[in-house]
Amino acid sequence: MTTDLNLLPLFLAVGQERSFRAAADRLGVTRSAVSQAIRRLEDGLGIALVMRTTRSVHLTEAGERLHAALSRPLGEVAQALEDVAAQDAPHGLLRIAVTSIAQRFLSGPLIASFAAAHPGVTLDVTVTDEEFDIVATGHDAGVRLGEVIAQDMIAIPITGEQREMAVASPAYLAAHGAPAHPRELVRHRCIGWRPAPHLPPYRWEFAEGGVPFDVAVEPQVTTNDLTLMLRTALAGGGITFAPEDVFRPYIDAGELVPLLGDFLPPFPGFFLYFPQRHHMAPKLRALIEHVRRAGVA
């Protein structure tokens, strides 16, 4: 059996993007070229690798096995070739998956200063709260809370310790009063968060006397958009809950009031994380050094 190895990067792109069109756009080829490449690969192997419907693209069991087997070695080859071609100047596409609550990374200055320092690097930042394998999806790095990062990843701190905070507007508190204990939240209008449409709202986490517990509030408003949560709280829509960094400017301005602070202990902050690689692309090394120079805040 002879397989055209040039077809493998196209198959990997389809597996990562789960879309022929997105894979074509990423590789700079036509959708027809991607479709023909997959068909040639399947014909050569004598087995279906991709299931196509009018709305989605999925890998078959054989396709998943092949994708998993190829992802790491072909990725390392691509990075090694990029190292040789790049010499000392970082360049190319740098793909990063960032949780929506990583306020310091997403606030603008860190990304803007990196882009100014490295004009040859193109940043593609995906803001998502769904958990996934950044290696399998073709991302170079991710930004998440330290407690949810896999132990086989290398992690560089972006912030110091963080703390969740419950807040509400002065107008809401004047009308409804403030809860004295987290369990009283079930009697308040709450603005909740969920990482994805198919998942339940996040349970608000607290601690009392060193013992952690959570409260399953029943939000009147639930969203995966942190900005909507903030705006709704500012408008008097209820009590909401997120990392302190999100609310601090509005607390300092008197537009939001912190609540239940005695029940909210600190926890490890946000980290830039990436897989350990023998050949690290200069573009990723440049981002790591930029984060380190920015310092932990």
Q: Consecutive 10-residue runs of the chain (297 residues): their mean pLDDT?
A: 75 85 83 87 87 78 85 66 63 89 84 92 88 81 86 87 93 96 95 84 90 92 91 97 90 96 90 80 89 76
In angstroms, how far is the first alpha carbon of the chain from the final one? 56
Determine the pLDDT at residue 275.
Answer: 85
pLDDT at 235: 97
pTM: 0.62
**Closest alpha carbon to 261 in 182, 197, 189, 198:** 182
Phi/psi class of residue 192: alpha, beta or left (left: φ > 0; alpha: ψ in -120 to 50)?
beta
Chain center to CA of 78: 23
Coil, strand or helix: which one is 56? coil
- 162 phi and psi angles, rounded to 5 deg: -115, 170
pLDDT of residue 37: 87
Report the pLDDT value the prediction gives residue 80, as an integer from 0 to 100.
Answer: 63
The per-residue pLDDT for 267 is 85
Pairwise CA distance, residues 155 & 247, whole Å: 26
* H or E, element range at 81: helix 61-86
Instruction: Look at the alpha carbons of 108, 111, 113, 115 in this order and tell me if their dihedral is positive or negative.
Output: negative
CA–CA distance, 224 with 107 (Å, rounded to integer): 18
The closest alpha carbon to 71, from 134, 10, 144, 135, belongs to: 135
- What is the predicted pLDDT for the residue at 297? 52
Please, which residues have CB within 8 angstroms of residue 263's CB and are 6 or more apart in sequence?
181, 182, 206, 207, 208
